[in-house]
Structure 1
Amino acid sequence: MGGTSKSTTDYEFQTVWRVAGTPHEVMDILGDAGTLARWWPSVYLRVVPLDPGTPDGTGKAFFLLTKGWMPYTLRWRFTVTEPITERGFAISASGDLNGVGRWIFEQDGPETVITYHWRVSASKPMLRRLSWLLKPAFSANHHWAMARGQESLALELRRRRPGTDLSKVPRPSPPTFASRYRWPRSTTHA
């Protein structure tokens, strides 16, 4: 959905997903950022836990290496700023992206409507330098990544259902240009 901005490096998006599942199931998946690289591998290349936070999730922090369909990566820190509940939660971002995001979960019959508000400024040098020219492509990259997220979340919800034949649930989409993103498991995020 919409993409408005204040400067060439500022982005504001609202994404709406609808998935078969309860807000509690959605919270269990989206609220566990440590699993993002497993179930949303097209975007989350690496997730490194930094801080376990409090029991309600506040303060949980992770280093992320992410990408979209374009051949560049973003390194940033994700920190939960509000409790993780069945109604949603909020995060802050710092690094190549700086800003705030808010997930909202609402039950609608057998489905959950998920709304994500994302206000972010690009600080990665390449994005800052080329944003004036490539802002539509960078916005399209975000929309592509979020569409893969909805697909991957729907698959993960199916995988987690009791009695599911896992052989009948397709694997989530891999990252584009996957051969460019191989590294030893022992690498650090520094």
Structure 2
Amino acid sequence: MRTNEYYMPTEWRVRGTIEEVYEVCSDFLDYQRWWPEVYLNIRKDRIDEETGNVVYALLTRGKLPYKLRWYSCKTREDAPRSVSLKAYGDLAGRGTWSFEQDGDCVNVRFDWYVNAEKPVLKYLSWLMKPIFRSNHYWAMGKGLESLNRELERRRAAAK
């Protein structure tokens, strides 16, 4: 594994139905609204020639004082069980969200295989990899908090 390669799995357990959790997590364009600590800007950029899906231009951040500019599009969707994506730009790789109903909760897993291509990350990964990983997991922790808030907001609006 090259020093700038990362595999960062994340597991969440969320109260709700697989359909409602999938609906939130599979709508990439809406991340900026419900996960604002991390997703600073998302816009439709173009259509991916390989998949025919929308490519999103993203500006994201973590706890550390740098921002990432990257692009992402869905590569495979099996609603409501999974959605896969590819990424390129400051982050290049692939990820898959998986969802499984377990009683009144949903087990959510995100498998993120990514190369850090932003120069500061790429060339300092050999030294800073544990810190960069920690930054990713901080962002994912904010995601779990934000997802729970978004699900509560949607439930309240449906009443």
Counterpart residue identity of residue 156, structure 1: E
The aligned residue for residue 87 of structure 1 is: 81
The aligned residue for residue 177 of structure 1 is: none
- Percent identity, aligned pairs only, is 43
The aligned residue for residue 31 of structure 2 is: 36
The aligned residue for residue 111 of structure 2 is: 117
The aligned residue for residue 170 of structure 1 is: none
Counterpart residue identity of residue 88, structure 2: S
How many residues matched?
157
Q: 2:16 aligns with which of 16, 21, 24?
A: 21
Alpha-carbon deviation of 1:128? 1.2
Q: Is the 8 A contact 1:43 1:145 kept in 2?
A: yes
Counterpart residue identity of residue 121, structure 1: N
Alpha-carbon deviation of 1:50? 2.1
- Greater helix content: 2
Counterpart residue identity of residue 77, structure 2: P
Counterpart residue identity of residue 24, structure 2: I
> In 1, distance between residues paired with 2:140 and 2:157?
28
Q: Structure 1 unaligned runs (5+)?
A: 1-5, 166-190
Counterpart residue identity of residue 70, structure 1: L
Partner of 2:77, secondary structure, is coil
> In 2, distance between residues paired with 1:52 and 1:27?
22
> In 2, distance between residues paired with 1:79 and 1:63?
9
Alpha-carbon deviation of 1:117? 0.4
The aligned residue for residue 98 of structure 1 is: 92
Q: CA RMSD in A?
A: 1.8
Matches for 1:36-55 after TM superposition, within 5 Å: 36-51=31-46
Q: Structure 2 unaligned runs (5+)?
A: none
Partner of 1:64, secondary structure, is strand
The aligned residue for residue 132 of structure 2 is: 138
> In 1, distance between residues paired with 2:134 and 2:56?
25
Distance 1:89 1:163, change over 3 A: closer
- Greater strand content: 2
Distance 1:132 1:110, change over 3 A: same
Q: 1:67 aligns with which of 42, 49, 61?
A: 61
Alpha-carbon deviation of 1:84? 5.0
